[in-house]
A and B are shown apart, each in its own frame.
Chain A
Protein backbone atom coordinates (compact mmCIF):
# COMPACT_ATOMS: atom_id res chain seq x y z
CA UNK A 1 0.00 0.00 0.00
CA UNK A 2 2.77 2.39 0.97
CA UNK A 3 4.66 1.58 -2.21
CA UNK A 4 1.57 2.17 -4.24
CA UNK A 5 1.01 5.57 -2.71
CA UNK A 6 4.61 6.63 -3.27
CA UNK A 7 4.65 5.47 -6.85
CA UNK A 8 1.32 7.15 -7.41
CA UNK A 9 2.70 10.45 -6.23
CA UNK A 10 5.85 9.95 -8.29
CA UNK A 11 3.75 9.29 -11.33
CA UNK A 12 1.64 12.34 -10.62
CA UNK A 13 4.80 14.41 -10.31
CA UNK A 14 6.25 13.18 -13.58
CA UNK A 15 3.01 13.90 -15.37
CA UNK A 16 2.63 17.32 -13.84
CA UNK A 17 6.25 18.03 -14.67
CA UNK A 18 5.72 17.28 -18.32
CA UNK A 19 2.49 19.21 -18.56
CA UNK A 20 3.67 22.10 -16.46
CA UNK A 21 1.38 24.93 -17.58
CA UNK A 22 3.43 27.77 -18.94
CA UNK A 23 2.55 31.34 -18.11
CA UNK A 24 3.60 34.31 -20.14
CA UNK A 25 5.53 36.51 -17.72
CA UNK A 26 7.53 38.92 -19.85
CA UNK A 27 7.50 40.38 -23.36
CA UNK A 28 10.30 42.39 -24.88
CA UNK A 29 10.11 44.15 -28.23
CA UNK A 30 12.70 45.96 -30.28
CA UNK A 31 13.59 47.17 -33.74
CA UNK A 32 16.70 45.79 -35.42
CA UNK A 33 18.06 47.89 -38.30
CA UNK A 34 19.63 46.14 -41.28
CA UNK A 35 22.66 48.24 -42.19
CA UNK A 36 26.33 48.25 -43.13
CA UNK A 37 27.33 47.09 -39.65
CA UNK A 38 26.06 43.62 -40.57
CA UNK A 39 28.23 41.36 -42.70
CA UNK A 40 26.52 39.77 -45.69
CA UNK A 41 26.04 36.01 -45.83
CA UNK A 42 28.29 34.96 -48.70
CA UNK A 43 26.04 32.10 -49.78
CA UNK A 44 23.13 34.53 -50.29
CA UNK A 45 25.26 36.99 -52.24
CA UNK A 46 26.51 34.23 -54.52
CA UNK A 47 22.94 33.04 -55.06
CA UNK A 48 21.78 36.55 -56.06
CA UNK A 49 24.70 37.17 -58.46
CA UNK A 50 23.42 35.43 -61.63
CA UNK A 51 19.98 37.07 -61.22
CA UNK A 52 21.67 40.42 -60.75
CA UNK A 53 23.87 40.01 -63.81
CA UNK A 54 20.91 39.18 -66.02
CA UNK A 55 18.91 42.17 -64.75
CA UNK A 56 21.87 44.50 -65.25
CA UNK A 57 22.53 43.15 -68.74
CA UNK A 58 18.90 43.59 -69.71
CA UNK A 59 18.72 47.02 -68.14
CA UNK A 60 21.76 48.08 -70.15
CA UNK A 61 20.25 46.86 -73.42
CA UNK A 62 20.21 49.76 -75.87
CA UNK A 63 16.75 50.26 -77.32
CA UNK A 64 17.07 53.55 -79.15
CA UNK A 65 19.01 56.80 -79.37
CA UNK A 66 18.32 60.49 -78.71
CA UNK A 67 20.37 63.45 -79.94
CA UNK A 68 18.99 65.74 -77.23
CA UNK A 69 18.19 65.46 -73.55
CA UNK A 70 14.58 64.43 -73.09
CA UNK A 71 13.12 66.26 -70.10
CA UNK A 72 9.78 67.39 -68.78
CA UNK A 73 10.96 70.89 -67.97
CA UNK A 74 11.99 72.46 -71.29
CA UNK A 75 8.88 74.57 -71.67
CA UNK A 76 5.96 75.93 -69.66
CA UNK A 77 2.89 74.13 -70.97
CA UNK A 78 4.47 71.29 -72.93
CA UNK A 79 7.75 69.38 -72.80
CA UNK A 80 9.85 67.24 -75.13
CA UNK A 81 9.50 64.17 -72.94
CA UNK A 82 5.82 64.76 -72.23
CA UNK A 83 5.03 65.16 -75.93
CA UNK A 84 7.03 62.02 -76.72
CA UNK A 85 5.31 59.99 -74.02
CA UNK A 86 1.80 60.99 -75.02
CA UNK A 87 2.49 60.54 -78.74
CA UNK A 88 4.17 57.15 -78.38
CA UNK A 89 1.43 55.80 -76.13
CA UNK A 90 -1.16 56.96 -78.68
CA UNK A 91 0.81 55.35 -81.49
CA UNK A 92 1.17 52.02 -79.66
CA UNK A 93 -2.36 51.92 -78.23
CA UNK A 94 -4.50 53.02 -81.17
CA UNK A 95 -4.02 49.86 -83.27
CA UNK A 96 -4.95 47.76 -80.22
CA UNK A 97 -8.06 49.85 -79.54
CA UNK A 98 -9.03 49.94 -83.22
CA UNK A 99 -8.74 46.19 -83.65
CA UNK A 100 -11.07 45.65 -80.70
CA UNK A 101 -13.67 48.37 -81.28
CA UNK A 102 -13.28 49.51 -84.88
CA UNK A 103 -12.94 53.05 -83.52
CA UNK A 104 -9.98 55.38 -83.13
CA UNK A 105 -8.57 57.12 -80.08
CA UNK A 106 -8.94 60.90 -80.33
CA UNK A 107 -5.99 61.86 -78.15
CA UNK A 108 -3.87 60.87 -75.13
CA UNK A 109 -3.38 62.60 -71.81
CA UNK A 110 -1.21 61.72 -68.80
CA UNK A 111 0.15 63.63 -65.82
CA UNK A 112 3.31 65.69 -65.39
CA UNK A 113 4.05 63.94 -62.07
CA UNK A 114 3.95 60.57 -63.80
CA UNK A 115 7.15 61.34 -65.70
CA UNK A 116 9.54 60.03 -63.09
CA UNK A 117 12.90 60.68 -64.76
CA UNK A 118 14.40 62.34 -67.82
CA UNK A 119 16.58 60.70 -70.47
CA UNK A 120 20.07 62.03 -71.10
CA UNK A 121 21.12 62.40 -74.75
CA UNK A 122 22.79 59.32 -76.16
CA UNK A 123 21.67 55.72 -75.97
CA UNK A 124 18.26 54.93 -74.54
CA UNK A 125 18.29 51.73 -72.46
CA UNK A 126 15.67 49.55 -70.80
CA UNK A 127 16.73 51.16 -67.53
CA UNK A 128 15.65 54.55 -68.91
CA UNK A 129 12.20 53.12 -69.56
CA UNK A 130 12.00 51.71 -66.02
CA UNK A 131 13.15 55.00 -64.51
CA UNK A 132 10.73 56.98 -66.65
CA UNK A 133 7.84 54.68 -65.70
CA UNK A 134 8.57 52.57 -62.61
CA UNK A 135 4.87 51.92 -61.93
CA UNK A 136 2.82 49.10 -63.34
CA UNK A 137 0.12 51.40 -64.69
CA UNK A 138 -1.80 50.17 -67.72
CA UNK A 139 -3.34 52.03 -70.63
CA UNK A 140 -7.09 52.61 -70.70
CA UNK A 141 -9.35 54.41 -73.18
CA UNK A 142 -12.13 56.54 -71.70
CA UNK A 143 -15.06 57.77 -73.73
CA UNK A 144 -15.73 61.33 -72.55
CA UNK A 145 -18.61 63.71 -73.19
CA UNK A 146 -18.23 67.28 -74.47
CA UNK A 147 -18.68 68.52 -70.88
CA UNK A 148 -15.91 66.29 -69.55
CA UNK A 149 -13.58 67.36 -72.37
CA UNK A 150 -14.20 70.95 -71.31
CA UNK A 151 -13.41 70.02 -67.71
CA UNK A 152 -10.22 68.40 -68.94
CA UNK A 153 -9.20 71.56 -70.81
CA UNK A 154 -10.02 73.68 -67.76
CA UNK A 155 -7.90 71.36 -65.60
CA UNK A 156 -4.92 71.88 -67.94
CA UNK A 157 -5.41 75.64 -67.96
CA UNK A 158 -5.82 75.92 -64.19
CA UNK A 159 -2.83 73.63 -63.56
CA UNK A 160 -0.48 75.62 -65.86
CA UNK A 161 1.67 72.50 -66.02
CA UNK A 162 3.15 70.58 -68.90
CA UNK A 163 0.96 67.52 -68.50
CA UNK A 164 1.72 65.16 -71.39
CA UNK A 165 -0.91 65.49 -74.14
CA UNK A 166 -0.68 64.03 -77.62
CA UNK A 167 -0.33 66.04 -80.83
CA UNK A 168 -4.00 65.67 -81.85
CA UNK A 169 -4.77 68.33 -79.25
CA UNK A 170 -4.48 72.02 -79.98
CA UNK A 171 -5.33 74.02 -76.90
CA UNK A 172 -4.86 77.77 -76.90
CA UNK A 173 -5.49 79.88 -73.84
CA UNK A 174 -7.17 83.08 -75.05
CA UNK A 175 -8.08 86.37 -73.40
CA UNK A 176 -11.66 85.31 -72.78
CA UNK A 177 -11.22 81.59 -72.27
CA UNK A 178 -9.75 78.93 -74.48
CA UNK A 179 -9.87 77.49 -77.95
CA UNK A 180 -9.70 73.72 -78.16
CA UNK A 181 -9.35 71.73 -81.35
CA UNK A 182 -9.02 67.98 -81.60
CA UNK A 183 -7.73 66.71 -84.92
CA UNK A 184 -8.11 70.26 -86.30
CA UNK A 185 -11.80 70.35 -85.40
CA UNK A 186 -13.58 72.37 -82.75
CA UNK A 187 -15.14 70.09 -80.18
CA UNK A 188 -18.85 69.41 -80.67
CA UNK A 189 -21.60 69.34 -78.07
CA UNK A 190 -23.29 66.04 -78.91
CA UNK A 191 -20.14 64.13 -79.68
CA UNK A 192 -18.06 61.90 -77.38
CA UNK A 193 -14.28 61.55 -77.50
CA UNK A 194 -12.01 58.59 -76.88
CA UNK A 195 -9.17 59.66 -74.61
CA UNK A 196 -6.20 57.44 -73.81
CA UNK A 197 -4.81 57.61 -70.27
CA UNK A 198 -3.55 55.30 -67.51
CA UNK A 199 -5.69 53.27 -65.12
CA UNK A 200 -4.14 55.27 -62.27
CA UNK A 201 -5.40 58.59 -63.66
CA UNK A 202 -8.71 57.10 -64.72
CA UNK A 203 -9.31 56.23 -61.07
CA UNK A 204 -9.01 59.92 -60.20
CA UNK A 205 -5.26 60.03 -59.63
CA UNK A 206 -3.78 63.56 -59.63
CA UNK A 207 -7.35 64.85 -59.27
CA UNK A 208 -8.21 64.15 -62.88
CA UNK A 209 -11.80 63.55 -61.84
CA UNK A 210 -13.14 64.04 -65.39
CA UNK A 211 -11.83 60.53 -66.17
CA UNK A 212 -13.76 58.96 -63.31
CA UNK A 213 -17.15 58.20 -64.83
CA UNK A 214 -16.65 57.86 -68.55
CA UNK A 215 -19.42 56.89 -70.95
CA UNK A 216 -17.45 53.72 -71.65
CA UNK A 217 -14.16 52.41 -70.36
CA UNK A 218 -11.82 50.14 -72.33
CA UNK A 219 -8.90 48.46 -70.58
CA UNK A 220 -6.18 47.65 -73.06
CA UNK A 221 -4.11 45.24 -70.89
CA UNK A 222 -1.05 47.13 -72.05
CA UNK A 223 1.36 48.55 -69.47
CA UNK A 224 2.54 52.10 -70.04
CA UNK A 225 6.15 50.97 -69.59
CA UNK A 226 5.77 48.19 -72.14
CA UNK A 227 4.36 50.68 -74.64
CA UNK A 228 7.44 52.85 -74.05
CA UNK A 229 9.84 49.92 -74.46
CA UNK A 230 8.04 48.64 -77.57
CA UNK A 231 8.17 52.09 -79.15
CA UNK A 232 11.87 52.60 -78.44
CA UNK A 233 12.67 49.16 -79.87
CA UNK A 234 11.14 50.17 -83.20
CA UNK A 235 12.65 53.64 -83.45
CA UNK A 236 16.31 54.04 -84.34
CA UNK A 237 16.58 57.69 -83.34
CA UNK A 238 13.89 59.43 -81.34
CA UNK A 239 12.66 62.70 -82.83
CA UNK A 240 10.73 65.11 -80.65
CA UNK A 241 9.81 68.76 -80.85
CA UNK A 242 7.87 71.36 -78.98
CA UNK A 243 5.01 72.23 -81.32
CA UNK A 244 2.80 74.47 -79.20
CA UNK A 245 -0.01 71.94 -78.80
CA UNK A 246 -0.85 73.70 -75.53
CA UNK A 247 0.02 77.38 -75.48
CA UNK A 248 -1.02 80.86 -74.53
CA UNK A 249 -2.28 83.24 -77.20
CA UNK A 250 0.39 85.79 -77.96
Chain B
Protein backbone atom coordinates (compact mmCIF):
# COMPACT_ATOMS: atom_id res chain seq x y z
CA UNK B 1 0.00 0.00 0.00
CA UNK B 2 2.70 2.41 0.93
CA UNK B 3 4.70 1.40 -2.13
CA UNK B 4 1.72 1.94 -4.42
CA UNK B 5 1.19 5.32 -3.01
CA UNK B 6 4.78 6.16 -3.64
CA UNK B 7 4.55 5.18 -7.29
CA UNK B 8 1.45 7.24 -7.76
CA UNK B 9 3.07 10.22 -6.22
CA UNK B 10 6.25 9.87 -8.18
CA UNK B 11 4.34 9.54 -11.46
CA UNK B 12 2.46 12.65 -10.70
CA UNK B 13 5.65 14.39 -9.77
CA UNK B 14 7.26 13.35 -13.05
CA UNK B 15 4.29 14.69 -14.96
CA UNK B 16 4.58 17.91 -13.08
CA UNK B 17 8.23 18.33 -13.83
CA UNK B 18 7.71 17.58 -17.52
CA UNK B 19 4.81 19.88 -17.77
CA UNK B 20 6.70 22.39 -15.74
CA UNK B 21 9.58 22.18 -18.15
CA UNK B 22 7.25 22.58 -21.08
CA UNK B 23 5.53 25.47 -19.50
CA UNK B 24 8.77 27.28 -18.84
CA UNK B 25 9.56 27.15 -22.54
CA UNK B 26 6.11 27.94 -23.84
CA UNK B 27 5.58 30.83 -21.44
CA UNK B 28 9.11 32.12 -21.63
CA UNK B 29 8.17 35.03 -23.85
CA UNK B 30 5.20 36.13 -21.81
CA UNK B 31 7.28 35.96 -18.65
CA UNK B 32 8.79 39.29 -19.63
CA UNK B 33 6.65 42.35 -20.06
CA UNK B 34 7.48 45.87 -21.12
CA UNK B 35 5.47 49.03 -20.47
CA UNK B 36 6.47 52.40 -21.89
CA UNK B 37 5.29 55.67 -20.36
CA UNK B 38 5.57 58.83 -22.47
CA UNK B 39 4.85 62.21 -20.98
CA UNK B 40 4.69 65.94 -21.56
CA UNK B 41 3.94 68.93 -19.29
CA UNK B 42 3.26 72.66 -19.61
CA UNK B 43 2.79 72.57 -23.37
CA UNK B 44 1.01 75.97 -23.02
CA UNK B 45 -0.81 76.07 -26.36
CA UNK B 46 2.42 75.60 -28.31
CA UNK B 47 1.16 74.02 -31.50
CA UNK B 48 3.83 74.89 -34.03
CA UNK B 49 7.61 74.71 -33.68
CA UNK B 50 9.29 77.91 -32.49
CA UNK B 51 10.37 80.14 -35.41
CA UNK B 52 13.85 79.78 -36.85
CA UNK B 53 14.94 83.10 -35.40
CA UNK B 54 13.67 82.40 -31.87
CA UNK B 55 16.15 83.62 -29.28
CA UNK B 56 16.02 80.50 -27.14
CA UNK B 57 14.51 77.47 -28.87
CA UNK B 58 14.80 78.04 -32.64
CA UNK B 59 12.95 75.45 -34.71
CA UNK B 60 12.24 73.31 -31.64
CA UNK B 61 9.00 71.64 -30.59
CA UNK B 62 5.83 71.28 -32.64
CA UNK B 63 2.85 68.95 -32.20
CA UNK B 64 3.15 67.39 -35.69
CA UNK B 65 6.71 66.34 -34.88
CA UNK B 66 5.72 65.08 -31.46
CA UNK B 67 3.17 62.89 -33.26
CA UNK B 68 5.95 61.26 -35.33
CA UNK B 69 8.00 60.56 -32.22
CA UNK B 70 5.05 59.05 -30.37
CA UNK B 71 3.93 56.96 -33.37
CA UNK B 72 7.39 55.44 -33.73
CA UNK B 73 7.54 54.50 -30.04
CA UNK B 74 4.05 52.99 -30.15
CA UNK B 75 5.12 50.86 -33.11
CA UNK B 76 8.15 49.71 -31.20
CA UNK B 77 6.04 48.95 -28.10
CA UNK B 78 2.25 48.93 -28.37
CA UNK B 79 2.05 48.77 -24.56
CA UNK B 80 2.58 52.49 -24.24
CA UNK B 81 0.73 55.14 -22.24
CA UNK B 82 0.87 58.83 -23.17
CA UNK B 83 0.27 61.26 -20.28
CA UNK B 84 0.32 65.02 -19.68
CA UNK B 85 0.91 66.82 -16.37
CA UNK B 86 -1.17 69.94 -17.02
CA UNK B 87 -1.00 73.57 -18.19
CA UNK B 88 -2.15 72.62 -21.64
CA UNK B 89 -3.71 76.08 -22.02
CA UNK B 90 -2.30 79.60 -22.41
CA UNK B 91 0.79 80.80 -24.17
CA UNK B 92 -0.01 81.44 -27.83
CA UNK B 93 -2.85 83.18 -29.69
CA UNK B 94 -4.27 79.72 -30.45
CA UNK B 95 -5.57 79.72 -26.90
CA UNK B 96 -6.85 83.31 -27.05
CA UNK B 97 -8.71 82.53 -30.28
CA UNK B 98 -10.04 79.02 -29.72
CA UNK B 99 -10.02 78.63 -25.95
CA UNK B 100 -8.14 75.32 -25.98
CA UNK B 101 -10.19 73.56 -28.65
CA UNK B 102 -7.19 72.94 -30.91
CA UNK B 103 -4.97 71.80 -28.02
CA UNK B 104 -7.49 69.15 -26.90
CA UNK B 105 -8.29 68.02 -30.44
CA UNK B 106 -4.60 67.53 -31.25
CA UNK B 107 -3.94 65.67 -28.01
CA UNK B 108 -6.84 63.39 -28.91
CA UNK B 109 -5.31 62.81 -32.36
CA UNK B 110 -2.02 61.93 -30.67
CA UNK B 111 -4.05 59.49 -28.52
CA UNK B 112 -3.19 60.85 -25.12
CA UNK B 113 -4.44 58.45 -22.44
CA UNK B 114 -4.82 60.94 -19.58
CA UNK B 115 -3.88 64.40 -18.33
CA UNK B 116 -4.09 66.29 -15.09
CA UNK B 117 -5.23 69.89 -14.65
CA UNK B 118 -2.77 72.76 -14.27
CA UNK B 119 -3.47 76.22 -12.86
CA UNK B 120 -3.48 77.79 -16.33
CA UNK B 121 -6.15 75.36 -17.45
CA UNK B 122 -8.49 77.60 -15.40
CA UNK B 123 -7.48 80.72 -17.39
CA UNK B 124 -10.83 80.82 -19.19
CA UNK B 125 -12.44 79.89 -15.87
CA UNK B 126 -13.76 76.50 -14.90
CA UNK B 127 -16.56 77.04 -17.43
CA UNK B 128 -14.04 77.56 -20.23
CA UNK B 129 -12.38 74.26 -19.32
CA UNK B 130 -15.72 72.48 -19.10
CA UNK B 131 -16.71 73.83 -22.51
CA UNK B 132 -13.64 72.26 -24.12
CA UNK B 133 -13.98 68.83 -22.48
CA UNK B 134 -15.94 67.31 -25.41
CA UNK B 135 -12.86 67.92 -27.58
CA UNK B 136 -10.71 65.73 -25.32
CA UNK B 137 -10.96 62.02 -26.00
CA UNK B 138 -8.85 61.26 -22.95
CA UNK B 139 -9.52 61.46 -19.23
CA UNK B 140 -8.68 64.25 -16.84
CA UNK B 141 -7.38 62.82 -13.59
CA UNK B 142 -7.16 64.89 -10.44
CA UNK B 143 -7.66 63.57 -6.94
CA UNK B 144 -7.08 66.59 -4.69
CA UNK B 145 -9.52 69.05 -6.22
CA UNK B 146 -13.05 68.63 -4.92
CA UNK B 147 -15.27 69.75 -7.79
CA UNK B 148 -18.49 68.74 -6.02
CA UNK B 149 -19.99 72.25 -6.13
CA UNK B 150 -18.75 73.06 -9.61
CA UNK B 151 -19.69 72.34 -13.19
CA UNK B 152 -16.79 69.84 -13.44
CA UNK B 153 -18.41 67.52 -10.90
CA UNK B 154 -18.39 63.93 -12.30
CA UNK B 155 -16.49 65.06 -15.41
CA UNK B 156 -13.06 64.37 -14.02
CA UNK B 157 -11.82 61.31 -12.15
CA UNK B 158 -9.35 60.98 -9.28
CA UNK B 159 -7.60 58.01 -10.90
CA UNK B 160 -7.81 55.47 -13.68
CA UNK B 161 -6.47 51.94 -13.96
CA UNK B 162 -5.08 51.03 -17.38
CA UNK B 163 -4.28 47.45 -18.35
CA UNK B 164 -1.57 46.82 -20.90
CA UNK B 165 -0.39 43.28 -21.68
CA UNK B 166 -1.87 42.12 -18.37
CA UNK B 167 0.01 44.77 -16.39
CA UNK B 168 -2.22 47.03 -14.32
CA UNK B 169 -1.13 50.66 -14.31
CA UNK B 170 -2.84 52.95 -11.83
CA UNK B 171 -2.60 56.66 -12.66
CA UNK B 172 -3.83 59.46 -10.39
CA UNK B 173 -3.59 63.23 -10.66
CA UNK B 174 -2.62 66.01 -8.21
CA UNK B 175 -3.05 69.76 -8.65
CA UNK B 176 -1.40 72.79 -7.09
CA UNK B 177 -3.03 75.06 -4.51
CA UNK B 178 -5.05 77.56 -6.51
CA UNK B 179 -5.53 80.28 -3.90
CA UNK B 180 -3.10 83.11 -4.52
CA UNK B 181 -2.18 81.67 -7.90
CA UNK B 182 -5.47 81.78 -9.77
CA UNK B 183 -8.26 84.33 -9.46
CA UNK B 184 -10.99 82.73 -7.30
CA UNK B 185 -13.57 83.81 -9.86
CA UNK B 186 -11.83 81.44 -12.27
CA UNK B 187 -11.81 78.27 -10.17
CA UNK B 188 -15.02 79.15 -8.32
CA UNK B 189 -15.92 76.58 -5.64
CA UNK B 190 -13.13 74.13 -6.42
CA UNK B 191 -11.78 72.91 -3.07
CA UNK B 192 -8.07 72.12 -2.81
CA UNK B 193 -7.22 69.11 -0.64
CA UNK B 194 -3.85 68.24 0.87
CA UNK B 195 -1.94 66.45 -1.91
CA UNK B 196 0.12 64.30 0.45
CA UNK B 197 -2.88 62.89 2.28
CA UNK B 198 -4.69 62.32 -1.00
CA UNK B 199 -1.63 60.66 -2.55
CA UNK B 200 -1.41 58.30 0.43
CA UNK B 201 -5.07 57.34 -0.10
CA UNK B 202 -4.62 56.97 -3.84
CA UNK B 203 -1.52 54.80 -3.68
CA UNK B 204 -3.22 52.54 -1.13
CA UNK B 205 -6.33 52.18 -3.29
CA UNK B 206 -4.32 51.53 -6.44
CA UNK B 207 -1.73 49.20 -4.91
CA UNK B 208 -3.80 47.28 -2.38
CA UNK B 209 -7.42 47.42 -3.57
CA UNK B 210 -6.91 47.59 -7.32
CA UNK B 211 -3.75 45.41 -7.26
CA UNK B 212 -1.87 47.65 -9.66
CA UNK B 213 1.60 46.59 -10.78
CA UNK B 214 2.59 50.21 -11.37
CA UNK B 215 1.41 53.38 -9.68
CA UNK B 216 1.99 56.70 -11.44
CA UNK B 217 1.24 60.17 -10.10
CA UNK B 218 0.54 62.94 -12.61
CA UNK B 219 1.37 66.08 -10.68
CA UNK B 220 1.14 69.80 -11.31
CA UNK B 221 2.64 70.64 -7.90
CA UNK B 222 6.05 71.71 -9.20
CA UNK B 223 9.42 69.96 -8.94
CA UNK B 224 11.04 71.73 -5.98
CA UNK B 225 10.74 74.94 -3.96
CA UNK B 226 13.27 76.75 -1.79
CA UNK B 227 10.50 77.02 0.76
CA UNK B 228 10.41 73.41 1.92
CA UNK B 229 6.97 73.92 3.45
CA UNK B 230 5.53 74.26 -0.04
CA UNK B 231 4.54 70.85 -1.36
CA UNK B 232 6.59 69.85 -4.40
CA UNK B 233 7.12 66.58 -6.24
CA UNK B 234 10.28 65.91 -4.22
CA UNK B 235 8.43 66.53 -0.94
CA UNK B 236 5.55 64.36 -2.13
CA UNK B 237 7.92 61.53 -3.07
CA UNK B 238 9.55 61.56 0.37
CA UNK B 239 6.27 61.47 2.27
CA UNK B 240 4.44 58.70 0.40
CA UNK B 241 4.98 55.08 -0.58
CA UNK B 242 3.95 52.68 -3.35
CA UNK B 243 4.32 55.33 -6.05
CA UNK B 244 6.71 54.22 -8.80
CA UNK B 245 6.81 57.38 -10.86
CA UNK B 246 5.85 61.03 -10.36
CA UNK B 247 5.41 62.91 -13.63
CA UNK B 248 5.57 66.60 -12.80
CA UNK B 249 4.82 70.02 -14.23
CA UNK B 250 4.26 73.69 -13.30
CA UNK B 251 7.85 74.75 -12.61
CA UNK B 252 8.90 74.17 -16.26
CA UNK B 253 11.83 72.20 -14.87
CA UNK B 254 14.01 70.75 -17.57
CA UNK B 255 15.44 67.52 -16.15
CA UNK B 256 18.09 65.99 -18.44
CA UNK B 257 17.23 62.68 -16.79
CA UNK B 258 14.66 61.55 -14.22
CA UNK B 259 15.53 62.14 -10.56
CA UNK B 260 15.80 59.03 -8.40
CA UNK B 261 14.77 59.76 -4.83
CA UNK B 262 13.59 57.82 -1.76
CA UNK B 263 10.04 57.42 -0.52
CA UNK B 264 8.87 57.26 3.10
CA UNK B 265 10.05 53.64 3.47
CA UNK B 266 13.37 54.07 1.70
CA UNK B 267 12.36 52.72 -1.67
CA UNK B 268 13.29 54.37 -4.94
CA UNK B 269 10.83 56.70 -6.66
CA UNK B 270 11.37 58.33 -10.02
CA UNK B 271 10.44 61.99 -10.47
CA UNK B 272 10.51 63.46 -13.94
CA UNK B 273 9.62 66.72 -15.69
CA UNK B 274 10.53 67.70 -19.25
CA UNK B 275 10.59 71.51 -19.34
CA UNK B 276 7.74 73.09 -21.27
CA UNK B 277 6.16 74.07 -24.60
CA UNK B 278 6.38 70.55 -26.08
CA UNK B 279 10.13 70.89 -26.54
CA UNK B 280 10.65 67.37 -25.17
CA UNK B 281 8.88 64.13 -24.45
CA UNK B 282 9.85 62.09 -21.41
CA UNK B 283 10.16 58.34 -21.79
CA UNK B 284 10.18 55.82 -18.94
CA UNK B 285 10.35 52.09 -19.69
CA UNK B 286 9.26 49.55 -17.09
CA UNK B 287 10.40 45.93 -17.53
CA UNK B 288 8.63 43.13 -15.69
CA UNK B 289 9.66 39.53 -15.21
CA UNK B 290 7.69 36.65 -13.72
CA UNK B 291 10.92 34.85 -12.87
CA UNK B 292 11.19 34.95 -9.09
CA UNK B 293 14.98 34.57 -9.21
CA UNK B 294 15.43 37.64 -11.32
CA UNK B 295 12.93 39.56 -9.25
CA UNK B 296 14.72 38.67 -6.02
CA UNK B 297 17.78 40.54 -7.25
CA UNK B 298 15.75 43.75 -7.05
CA UNK B 299 15.14 46.30 -9.73
CA UNK B 300 17.77 48.17 -11.59
CA UNK B 301 17.20 51.79 -12.62
CA UNK B 302 19.06 53.12 -15.63
CA UNK B 303 18.76 56.83 -16.26
Binding site for B on A (CB under 8 A): 1-2, 5-6, 9-10, 13, 17, 20-36, 38-45, 47-48, 51-52, 54-55, 58-59, 130, 136, 199, 219
Contacts and interface: CB of A to CB of B under 8 A. Distances in A.
A31 B247 CA distance: 13
Given A38-B68, A130-B93, A24 B214 contact: yes
A47 B62 contact: no
Nearest to A50: B102
B283 A29 contact: yes
A2 B102 CA distance: 67
B235 interface: no
Contacts of A2: 8, 11-12
A52 to B, nearest CB: 7
Most buried by B among A1, A31, A38, A47: A31
Contacts of B291: 23
Given A40-B67, A42-B64, 13 more contacts: A5-B12, A17-B23, A24-B288, A25-B287, A27-B244, A27-B300, A28-B285, A29-B257, A29-B302, A31-B280, A32-B280, A33-B279, A34-B61
B97 A58 contact: yes
Contacts of B49: 36
A34 B59 CA distance: 9
Chain B interface mostly: mixed
Nearest to A221: B185
Q: How large is the interface on B (under 10, 10 to 19, 20 to 34, 35 or more residues)?
A: 35 or more
Contacts of A10: 15, 19
Nearest to B52: A36
Contact of B283 (A26, A30, A38, A199): A30
B84 to A, nearest CB: 14
B154 to A, nearest CB: 28
A200 B297 CA distance: 54
Nearest to A59: B93
A47 B110 CA distance: 12
B153 interface: no
B60 to A, nearest CB: 5
Contacts of B64: 40-42, 44-45, 48
B230 interface: no
Interface string B1-27: 000000010011001100110010001
A32 B291 CA distance: 31
Q: Pick the 8 closest A-B CB pairs, nearest first.
A: A23-B295, A40-B64, A29-B258, A20-B290, A41-B67, A44-B64, A22-B288, A26-B287
A28 B61 CA distance: 23
B94 interface: yes
A39 B291 CA distance: 40
A153 to B, nearest CB: 28
A17 B31 CA distance: 9
B207 interface: no
Contacts of A136: 90, 123
A31 B8 contact: no
B157 interface: no
B290 A29 contact: no
Interface in B278-301: 278-292, 294-295, 297, 299-301
Interface in B159-201: 166-167, 183, 185
Nearest to B95: A136
A39 B27 contact: no
A44 B68 CA distance: 10
B270 interface: yes
B8 A13 contact: no
B290 A47 contact: no
A17 B288 CA distance: 15
Interface in B87-103: 90, 93-94, 96-98, 102
A31 to B, nearest CB: 5
B199 to A, nearest CB: 19
Given A13-B19, A27-B302, A31-B257, A22 B33 contact: yes
Nearest to A27: B301
Contact of A35 (B19, B47, B60, B63): B60
A33 B60 contact: yes
10 contacts: A13-B16, A23-B292, A23-B295, A27-B244, A27-B270, A34-B62, A35-B60, A35-B65, A40-B62, A130-B93
A25 B300 contact: yes
Contact of A39 (B68, B98, B294): B68
